Structure 1
Amino acid sequence: MSELRDLALFAFVMALGQFSPGPDMILLTRTALAQGIRAGVMVALGIATGLVIHTSLAVAGMAVAFERSPVLRKGLAWLAAVYLGWIAYCLLRSAFSKPLPASGSASVPAPAGNPYLKGFACNLFNPKVVVFIAAICAPFLRGEHPSWWPYALIAIVVIQGGGLWALWAALLQWRPLRTRYERSARWIDGAFGIALIALAIKLGLDA
């Protein structure tokens, strides 16, 4: 019973962390609004795939390597900053290179690229994800646990992450919200692009 209680607590804490503002949320929200639920779910699956790697590293104790190896940490931070800058460039180019759509028109197309791969790369290239997950997992890995315990933590992070992000993509299909987006797509994309630039700059400064 105590193990089930601990897993429920872990799932609750991770759910709060999953929806904290960051590159994953920005990319998923923009993609789901612009391209629809299928593309949004593909981004969610890409994020979940990235979480498989991050959570496995965190549970295996590899987060310590990021703390003890400044070169590795800085290298990944710069790689993440460059990737986020590229996404921001694509958003800003899409926002200001085309005329605004007429009311009631079809959704504005997003920058070219595979939604799954974009979600996967966005999550994978963010070194803060593995550090965050490691910090959350650490208290739940202390003490005596069954052999299946680490795998249960990994499964919760991955399934919960993919499920919640896919649900968020579905909720964003609410017609009034989509109609408002179509009318303001240029400015919303511009705002997302600027937010990603700010995140990229912050990663570079932290490095």
Structure 2
Amino acid sequence: MVEQSAVLGVASIALGMVLSPGPNMLYLVSRSIGQGRRAGIISLGGVAAGFLVYLVGANLGLAVLFAAVPELLSVIRIAGALYLLWLAWNTVKPGGMSVFTVQDVPADSPRRLFAMGLMTNLLNPKIAILYISVIPQFIDLDKGNVLLQGIVLGGFQMAVAVSVNLSIVLAAGAIANLLADRPSWLRAQRVAMGGMLGTLAIMLALGDSAGPPDL
């Protein structure tokens, strides 16, 4: 039902986006560095819950919309490509602050950590556009149930995002100390991630409107 090329495409975009600095990464890293790994993991639970809300909500609405107006896939494909280009620029532009900068943050309870992780993700425009503009263009109307395709592809995005974020949470302290004295390494990371996002955006824009690009 869902082709391997679509899964790989979603996984590649999800990886590029989760590795680019954004609200989720900033919150998780700040909690992990300022309050410890346990706080970071609890916060990540809230972020994962936010992904689930987007997955279910977006796909329930999109399944009906795309069945009625299939031409919207082309519009969504271009919008998703433009957004990825914007992310690429914001990743490599001069003056960007390192997501791993150590900052003092007040200690919060587990309930507040989870709630803040959830709200950070729900209010994250990167995730909203990912589910509304990027993932849907990998849906093939000729491959069966649109709703199920969206849920499967969203599930792969969640798996990539949660796995990478968990690794970042566990390693945040060590990475912050490592990069503190190595600004050139940080610049290299930003350039690499920006280049990856830009490449994905171009491939997305040039892809056939009838299906996902060959990523």
The alignment's TM-score, normalised by the length of structure 1, stands at: 0.56
Partner of 2:39: 39
Name the amino acid aligned to 2:162: G
- Contact persistence 2:2–2:149 (CA under 8 A): no
- Contact persistence 1:55–1:130 (CA under 8 A): no
Unpaired segments of 5 or more residues in structure 1? 66-106, 181-207
Aligned pairs for 1:78-97 (under 5 A) are none
Partner of 1:168: 168
Q: Distance in 2 between matches of 1:132 and 1:6?
A: 15
- Contact persistence 1:28–1:169 (CA under 8 A): yes
Q: Does 1:110 align with 2:106?
A: yes
Partner of 2:155: 155
Q: Do the aligned partners of residues 59 and 19 (structure 1) sit closer, same or farther apart at CA in structure 2, a change above 3 Å counting?
A: farther
Q: Distance in 2 between matches of 1:46 and 1:112?
A: 14
- Report the secondary structure of 1:20's partner residue: coil
- Contact persistence 2:43–2:113 (CA under 8 A): yes
- Kindly state the Cα deviation for residue 57 of structure 1 after the two structures are TM-superposed: 2.6
- Contact persistence 1:44–1:166 (CA under 8 A): yes
Give the alignment partner of residue 140 of structure 2, picking from 139, 142, 153: 142
Q: Do the aligned partners of residues 7 and 35 (structure 1) sit closer, same or farther apart at CA in structure 2, a change above 3 Å counting?
A: same
Q: Do the aligned partners of residues 153 and 33 (structure 1) sit closer, same or farther apart at CA in structure 2, a change above 3 Å counting?
A: same
- Kindly state the Cα deviation for residue 58 of structure 1 after the two structures are TM-superposed: 2.7
Q: Do the aligned partners of residues 20 and 55 (structure 1) sit closer, same or farther apart at CA in structure 2, a change above 3 Å counting?
A: farther
- Report the secondary structure of 2:173's partner residue: coil
- Kindly state the Cα deviation for residue 108 of structure 1 after the two structures are TM-superposed: 6.0
Aligned residues: 140
Q: Percent identical across equivalent pairs?
A: 20
Partner of 2:119: 121
Q: Distance in 2 between matches of 1:3 and 1:169?
A: 32
The alignment's TM-score, normalised by the length of structure 2, stands at: 0.54
- Contact persistence 1:24–1:122 (CA under 8 A): yes
Partner of 2:90: none
Name the amino acid aligned to 1:49: A
- Report the secondary structure of 1:169's partner residue: helix
Q: Do the aligned partners of residues 25 and 134 (structure 1) sit closer, same or farther apart at CA in structure 2, a change above 3 Å counting?
A: same
Give the alignment partner of residue 128 of structure 2, picking from 108, 127, 130: 130
- Contact persistence 2:48–2:118 (CA under 8 A): yes
Unpaired segments of 5 or more residues in structure 2? 66-102, 181-215
Name the amino acid aligned to 1:166: L
Q: Distance in 2 between matches of 1:49 and 1:32?
A: 18
- Contact persistence 2:10–2:157 (CA under 8 A): no
Q: Distance in 2 between matches of 1:30 and 1:140?
A: 33
Q: Do the aligned partners of residues 31 and 158 (structure 1) sit closer, same or farther apart at CA in structure 2, a change above 3 Å counting?
A: same
Q: For each residue in 1:6-40, what CA deviation from the matched residue of structure 2 results, as whole angstroms up to 9, or x when unmatched?
A: 20121111111223322111111110111121111
- Cα RMSD after superposing both structures: 3.3
- Kindly state the Cα deviation for residue 176 of structure 1 after the two structures are TM-superposed: 7.3
- Kindly state the Cα deviation for residue 2 of structure 1 after the two structures are TM-superposed: 7.8
Partner of 2:183: none
